[in-house]
């Protein structure tokens, strides 16, 4: 009997000790499931850190990637590019047909409302596109609809668009973030740059300049309300600080991961990193309006002096090496262009420099003060110096740099293009066609043969024929040493692994519409 009592007392003492947390038990802390707290990820607030603030939130008046990260969640387009098939699927459109080469009839989805409660309809499409292409608006991407002649409302849910000529890249243009449809009522009543109103999965709440933008779920979204109840774009100027915040669980998402931080990020156990070959291209270009840059041997000497393979190895896997201006993920690319450029040959470069006296005059190398641009500038300066050139670097902040390059105040510089539509015409036309010298053609490039091919690529409906034409135009630029392609980008993102459902586009854009806590 005493033995039974003693055993009972031992059992009771063990239970008390377990309840006090003295060892492994059901109440002991769990190992982390990817969130900072180890609990199931909260969908109440999801924070994205950006090193820059938005410029504004009107898709008509902005053309920068940070602003687009907001507008892509508030607004929608008639079509969107499928990131798996690279085809253009209807978004706000229901369907379309071509009555002839110049006439597009687009049926719209019914029953959709803007965030202000007004109906999305054909009138809204006409209003948006008329404003985008009106010269008085001065829209930065008005060229998307430059071929449009007339826009006619057929009925509440049908719009007819006639173009001046067959426009082979029209669906690509209508999928661009700058072709998103705005609420006409809101646009007339308020400043959409500060208070955006669209049809998208998230609604605008507030913007504290220099600090953050806050969005909330559109509970009446036509394609189903998102799980995330609130999305915040938090301005964190230092990327290293943002990465520390991601590791600590203070933010949940960053994109455009810096080369020099990629190993640190890969060592973090609470995040998932996504990498995808992308559409962005980074290149050195000449100011073609300057006499020395019009000398084919000068451009050849510069191209031969640059070891792009050596540079790409510095990117820690975040760059793709190719001579082609039109990248592997862009419509119009042909792999035969990968090695079509002037090969690296420093001795050949030295011979051309000595023969023509290219080292007698300093060259102004203009660059933006962004990490990869500075890296390109420093490496290229050293390589050109080895070949006998004298190169002086001038660095500027981004907005000033773009204005200076547009004004042609440089000898050589580095530029980039994200290519939102993924169509070669929308790379070659704005950046290199002579129509755009003084605006988006910061290279000041003018070549009649190239111009004609680009026009053909825009005015041809047959897509296989367009692809062949774009390949020809691409190779004209390569053979001309019009630019020296440094690399094609790998688009990247890092997200707290307690969440899933991120959709990352090869153009670098992303959507949180389907993100949820696991």
For every residue of 315-382, which 3-state class applies, written as one string?
A: HCCCEECCCCCCCCCCECCCHHHCCCCCCCCHHHHHHHHHHHCHHHCCEEEEEECCHHHHHHHHHHHH
pTM (two decimals):
0.81
Asked whether residue 31 carries a pLDDT value surpassing 80, the answer given is no
Cβ neighbourhood burial of 24 (10 Å; 0-12, 13-18, 19+): exposed
**Which one, of 265, 213, 258, 260, lies nearest residue 234 by Cα?**
213
| pLDDT score for 6 | 37
Mean pLDDT, residues 479-504: 97
- Quote the percentage of the chain above a pLDDT of 90: 82
> Which tokens go with 228?
């995330």
| pLDDT score for 210 | 92
Residue 378: CA atoms inside 13 Å, Cβ hemisphere, count? 8
Cβ-based neighbour number of residue 63 at 10 Å: 17
> Which tokens go with 311?
């540079």
- Taking CA atoms, 287 is separated from 295, 441, 486, in Å, by 12, 10, 17
Backbone φ/ψ region at 256: left (φ over 0), alpha (ψ -120 to 50), beta: left
pLDDT digits (tens, 9 = 90+) for 142-167: 989 999 999 999 999 999 999 999 99
Query: What is the Cα–Cα distance from 93 to 497, expressed in whole angstroms?
Result: 34
Q: Which of 292-301, 337-346, 356-365, 402-411 is least confident?
A: 402-411
pLDDT greater at residue 500 or residue 402: 500
| pLDDT score for 41 | 74
Mean pLDDT, residues 73-91: 94
Asked whether residue 137 carries a pLDDT value surpassing 80, the answer given is yes
Cβ-based neighbour number of residue 415 at 10 Å: 20
Cβ-based neighbour number of residue 74 at 10 Å: 24
Q: Evaluate whether 459 touches 168 at the Cβ level (below 8 Å).
A: yes
Residue with token string 């209807």: 90
Q: Which of 56-60, 315-319, 323-327, 443-447 is least confident?
A: 315-319
Q: Evaluate whether 34 touches 41 at the Cβ level (below 8 Å).
A: yes
Sequence-distant (≥ 6) Cβ neighbours of residue 498 within 8 angstroms: 33, 34, 35, 40, 41, 270, 517, 518
**Confidence class for position 28, pLDDT limits 50, 70, 90:** very low
CA angle at 49 for the pair 44 and 51, rounded to the nearest 5°? 160
pLDDT digits (tens, 9 = 90+) for 443-486: 999 999 999 999 999 999 999 999 999 999 999 999 999 999 99
| pLDDT score for 1 | 41
Q: What order of strands is seen across the sheet that includes strand 148-155? A: 93-100, 103-108, 158-163, 148-155
| pLDDT score for 42 | 81
Query: What is the Cα–Cα distance from 235 to 215, expressed in whole angstroms?
Result: 14
Asked whether residue 22 carries a pLDDT value surpassing 90, the answer given is no
| pLDDT score for 370 | 79
**Which one, of 401, 353, 404, 373, lies nearest residue 284 by Cα?**
373
| pLDDT score for 165 | 95
Mean pLDDT, residues 203-227: 97
Long-range contacts of 500-504 (CB under 8 A, 24+ apart): 502/253, 502/274, 503/83, 504/83, 504/274, 504/276
Asked whether residue 194 carries a pLDDT value surpassing 70, the answer given is yes
Cβ density class 487-514: b for 16+ within 10 Å, e for less: bbbbbbbbbbbbbebbebbbbbbbbbbe
Query: What is the Cα–Cα distance from 277 to 71, expressed in whole angstroms?
Result: 24
Query: What is the Cα–Cα distance from 188 to 192, expressed in whole angstroms?
Result: 9
Q: Is the dihedral of CA 153, 130, 101, 86 positive or negative?
A: negative
Mean pLDDT, residues 393-400: 87
Asked whether residue 29 carries a pLDDT value surpassing 80, the answer given is no
Coil, helix or strand at residue 42: coil
Asked whether residue 33 carries a pLDDT value surpassing 50, the answer given is no
**Confidence class for position 403, pLDDT limits 50, 70, 90:** confident
| pLDDT score for 40 | 59
pLDDT greater at residue 35 or residue 227: 227
Q: Which of 30-39, 66-75, 304-313 is least confident?
A: 30-39
Mean pLDDT over each residue of the chain, to the nearest integer: 91
């Amino acid at each position: 009997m005493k033995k039974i009592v003693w055993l009972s007392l031992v059992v009771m003492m063990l239970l008390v000790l377990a309840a006090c947390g003295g060892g492994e038990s059901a109440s002991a802390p769990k190992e982390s499931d990817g969130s900072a707290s180890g609990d199931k990820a909260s969908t109440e607030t999801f924070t994205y850190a950006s090193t820059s603030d938005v410029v504004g939130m009107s898709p008509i008046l902005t053309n920068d990637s940070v602003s687009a990260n907001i507008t892509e969640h508030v607004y929608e387009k008639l079509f969107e590019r499928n990131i798996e098939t690279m085809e253009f699927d209807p978004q706000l459109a229901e369907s379309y047909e071509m009555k002839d080469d110049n006439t597009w009839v687009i049926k719209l989805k019914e029953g959709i409302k803007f965030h202000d409660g007004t109906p999305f309809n054909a009138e809204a499409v006409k209003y948006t596109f008329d404003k985008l292409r009106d010269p008085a608006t001065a829209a930065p991407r008005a060229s998307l609809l430059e071929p449009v002649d007339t826009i006619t409302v057929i009925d509440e849910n049908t719009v007819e668009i006639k173009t001046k000529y067959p426009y082979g890249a029209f669906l690509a243009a209508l999928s661009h973030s700058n072709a998103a449809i705005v609420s006409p009522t809101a646009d007339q009543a308020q400043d959409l740059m500060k208070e955006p109103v669209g049809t998208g999965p998230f609604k605008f709440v507030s913007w504290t300049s220099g600090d953050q933008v806050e969005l909330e779920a559109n509970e009446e979204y036509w394609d189903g309300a998102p799980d995330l109840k609130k999305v915040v774009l938090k301005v964190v100027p230092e990327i290293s600080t943002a990465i520390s915040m991601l590791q600590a669980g203070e933010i949940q998402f960053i994109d455009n991961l810096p080369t020099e931080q990629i190993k640190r990020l890969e060592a973090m156990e609470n995040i998932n990193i996504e990498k995808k070959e992308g559409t962005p291209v980074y290149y050195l270009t000449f100011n073609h309006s300057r006499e020395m840059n019009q000398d084919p041997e000068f451009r050849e000497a510069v191209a031969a002096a640059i070891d792009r393979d050596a540079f790409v190895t510095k990117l820690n896997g975040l760059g793709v090496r190719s001579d082609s201006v039109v990248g592997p993920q862009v419509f119009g690319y042909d792999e035969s262009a990968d090695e079509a450029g002037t090969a690296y040959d420093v001795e050949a470069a030295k011979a051309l420099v000595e023969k023509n006296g290219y080292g007698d005059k300093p060259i102004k190398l203009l660059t933006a003060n962004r990490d990869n641009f500075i890296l390109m500038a420093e490496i290229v300066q050293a390589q050109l110096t080895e070949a006998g050139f004298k190169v002086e670097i001038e660095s500027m902040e981004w907005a000033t740099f773009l204005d200076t390059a547009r004004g042609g105040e440089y000898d050589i510089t580095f530029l980039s293009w994200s290519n939102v539509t993924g169509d070669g015409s929308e790379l070659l036309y704005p950046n290199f066609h002579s129509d755009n010298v003084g605006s988006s053609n910061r290279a000041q490039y003018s070549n009649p043969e190239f111009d004609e091919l680009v026009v053909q690529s825009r005015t041809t409906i047959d897509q296989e024929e367009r692809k062949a034409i774009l390949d020809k135009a691409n190779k004209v630029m390569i053979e001309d040493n019009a630019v020296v392609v440094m690399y094609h980008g790998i688009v990247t993102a890092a997200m707290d692994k307690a969440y899933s459902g991120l959709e990352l586009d090869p153009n670098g854009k992303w959507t949180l519409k389907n993100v949820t806590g696991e």
